[in-house]
């Protein structure tokens, strides 16, 4: 072998030993085998040799190039393996507190209201709405709560100062109230639609109560079903189907007789406790049931007020508080948390 080539190889190996990065390796490759590399340059020397030596030199040069290339390749593999090992030696602490993107949230009341609506839509109920400021006729009279009815005591009512409206007959003038329940939506629906009527009416309601467990503004949901042959048994089936969808388990439905002027028979209804499936826990005070709301068969007088034939049609109605349901679901300890808008409270309910 040409001593020149041998020197190149020796030099190359010495340089290679100190190469620790792929970039340096590439530079080394260029320095020896690149267009202007030192080994490449030796190939030009071949022409200066006598023809007899050229063949040998050419073969030797080829071997030299091959050896360098192979060494480079081997070294590249070593470097890659070393880098992989280094990377694998890295430790990342994924137990650190997550960095969350600044996402918003829907109010827990909204979340509950939506879930309730979605559930009842699946059960075939349309969602209906009505005004918050109501006339006494829809909030009281048509619901069998006449001016002299003691049941008006049951709802401590906010009254609204009326506007002067020209051309009203004195007998037509309505006392205006902030609706004390969502039931006027029943009246509006029954007055404008023909049976079969199947609606729910979630919404804001108002009563003059203000303490640790009552807010003067709160939220209710009302259900109404009017058709031929509707019975209390259908209400029970509907509420059971509701629990299956809403709580993900079929819960018992218990009726207890009670009184609401716009239903007869009237009842309060309890659901089997969703937290212990009725076995008894602290949340249901070990009764196995949670009190939910009121219900009953729509009073024939109410149907008649709305122009519905009370002989041909029967129907049921139910209503309950969304606020209480929300507090129960999320185990919210204080009602005031719902209305003061503390972001540290709101962010607990991402959705």
Partner 1 sequence: MLISHQWLCSLLDLDGPAPDADALATILTGLGLEVEAMHRHGAGVEAILVAEIRGKAPHPQAGKLTVVELFDGERTLSVCCGASNLPPVGGKVALAPIGARLPGGLEIAPRELRGVASQGMICSETELEIGVDGDGILILPDEFPAGARLHTLVPGMVDTVLELGVTPNRPDALGHIGVARDVVAYLSSRPGGRAALKLPPAPAVMAPQDPQLVSIAAPDRCGRYLGYAISGVKVGPSPLWLRVRLHRLGLRPISNLVDITNLVLMEFGQPLHAFDRSKLAEGRVVVRRAHHEEGLRTLDGTDRALAQDDLVIADADDAQALAGVMGGAASAVSAGTTELLLEAAWFAPPGIRVSARRHALATDASYRYERGVDHGAGLERAALRALALIAELAHGRCIAQAEALGARPPRPVIDLRPARAEALLGVAVPTLEALAIFRGLEIEVDVDGLSDRGPTERDAAETILLADPETPNRSPRWSPSWRCVAPTHRPDLQREADLIDELMRHHGLDHVPARFCVPREARPAASADAMSVRGDLLSDGLREAGLQEIVSLAFVAEEKLLHFSDSHDGVPEDRFVRVANPMRGAGVMRTKLVPGLLDALVHNTARHGRPVRLFELGRVYAWPRGQVDPVGFPAGFPVGTRAVDVQLPHERTLAGLLLHAGGRAHADPRVLTGAVAHAIGRLGHRLHLSHGTGTHAAPTVSWLHPGAQIRLAVASVSGPVDIGVAGELHPELIAAWGLPDGLRVAYAEIDLAALPTAAVAKAREIPRFPATSRDLSLEIPITLPAAAVLTALRSAAAVLPAPGEDPVRLQAGEDIELLEDYRGAGVPEGHRALLLRLHYAAAGRSVTDAEVSPLHAAIVEQACLALRARAPSVRPR
Q: Please list every residue from 229 through 288 that binds partner 1, using CB under 8 A.
A: 229-234, 236-238, 240-241, 253-259, 261, 264-267
Question: What is the total count of residues that contact partner 1 (CB under 8 A)?
Answer: 105
Tell me whether residue 2 or residue 174 sits nearer to partner 1 (CB atom): 174
Closest separation in Å from C-beta 320 to partner 1: 17
User: What tokens appear for 133 in the block?
Assistant: 């400021």
Footprint (CB under 8 A) of partner 1, residues 76-135: 101-107, 109-110, 114, 117, 120-135
Of 336, 123, 40, which is closest to residue 211 (Cα–Cα)?
A: 336
CB of 119 to partner 1, least distance (A): 11
Task: Note whether 260 and 296 are within 8 A (CB).
Answer: yes
Least distance in angstroms from the C-beta of 260 to partner 1: 8
Does 193 participate in binding partner 1 (rule CB under 8 A)?
A: yes
Which lies closer to partner 1 via its Cβ, residue 60 or residue 155? 155
Question: How many alpha carbons lie under 13 Å from residue 158 in its C-beta half-sphere?
Answer: 17
Residue positions counted in the chain: 351
Among 66, 159, 249, 312, binds partner 1 (CB under 8 A): 159
Cβ atoms of residues 109 and 330 within 8 Å: no
Among residues 158, 276, 277, 281, which is the contact residue for partner 1, using CB under 8 A?
Answer: 158
Q: Which of 45, 56, 66, 210 binds partner 1 (CB under 8 A)?
A: 210
Of 58 and 307, the one with the shorter C-beta distance to partner 1 is 307
- Which of 65/299 has CB closer to partner 1? 299
Among candidate residues 26, 14, 33, the one with its CA nearest the CA of residue 79: 26
| Residue 148 engages partner 1 in binding (rule: CB under 8 A) | yes
Draw the binding track, 168-187, toward partner 1 (x: CB under 8 A; -: no contact): x---xxx-x-x-----x--x
Contact between 208 and 190 under an 8 Å Cβ cutoff? The reply is no
Q: Name beta bridge partners: 267.
A: 257, 295
Contact between 47 and 53 (Cβ < 8 Å):
no
C-alpha closest to that of 179 among 210, 151, 211, 203 = 203
Enter the DSSP assignment of 338: G
């Amino acid at each position: 072998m040409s001593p020149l080539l041998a020197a190149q190889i020796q030099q190359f190996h010495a340089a290679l030993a100190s190469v620790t990065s792929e970039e340096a390796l590439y530079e080394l490759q260029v320095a020896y085998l690149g267009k202007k590399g030192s080994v490449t340059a030796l190939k030009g020397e071949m022409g200066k040799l006598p023809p007899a030596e050229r063949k040998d030199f050419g073969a030797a040069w080829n071997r030299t190039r091959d050896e360098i290339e192979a060494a480079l390749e081997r070294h590249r593999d070593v470097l890659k393996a070393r880098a992989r090992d280094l990377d694998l030696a890295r430790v990342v602490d994924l137990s650190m507190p997550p960095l969350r993107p600044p996402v918003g949230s829907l109010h827990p009341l909204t979340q509950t209201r939506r879930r309730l609506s979605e559930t009842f839509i699946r059960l075939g109920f349309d969602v209906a709405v009505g005004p918050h400021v109501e006339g006494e006729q829809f909030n009281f009279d048509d619901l069998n709560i006449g001016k002299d009815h003691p049941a008006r005591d049951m709802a401590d009512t906010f009254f609204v100062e009326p506007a002067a409206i020209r051309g009203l007959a004195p007998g037509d003038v309505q006392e205006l109230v902030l609706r004390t329940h969502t039931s006027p939506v029943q009246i509006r629906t029954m007055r404008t639609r023909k049976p079969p009527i199947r609606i729910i009416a979630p919404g804001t309601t108002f009563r003059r109560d203000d303490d640790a467990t009552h807010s003067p503004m709160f939220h209710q949901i009302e259900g109404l079903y009017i058709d031929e042959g509707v019975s209390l048994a259908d209400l029970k089936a509907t509420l059971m189907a509701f629990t299956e969808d809403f709580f993900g388990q079929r819960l018992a439905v218990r009726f207890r007789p009670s009184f609401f002027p716009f239903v007869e028979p009237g009842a309060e209804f309890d659901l089997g406790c969703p937290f212990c499936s009725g076995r008894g826990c602290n949340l249901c005070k070990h009764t196995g049931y949670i009190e939910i709301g009121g219900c009953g068969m729509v009073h024939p007088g109410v149907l008649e007020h709305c122009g519905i034939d009370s002989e041909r049609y029967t129907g049921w109605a139910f209503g309950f508080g969304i606020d209480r349901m929300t507090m129960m679901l999320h185990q919210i300890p204080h009602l005031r948390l719902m209305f003061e808008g503390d972001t540290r409270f709101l962010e607990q309910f991402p959705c």
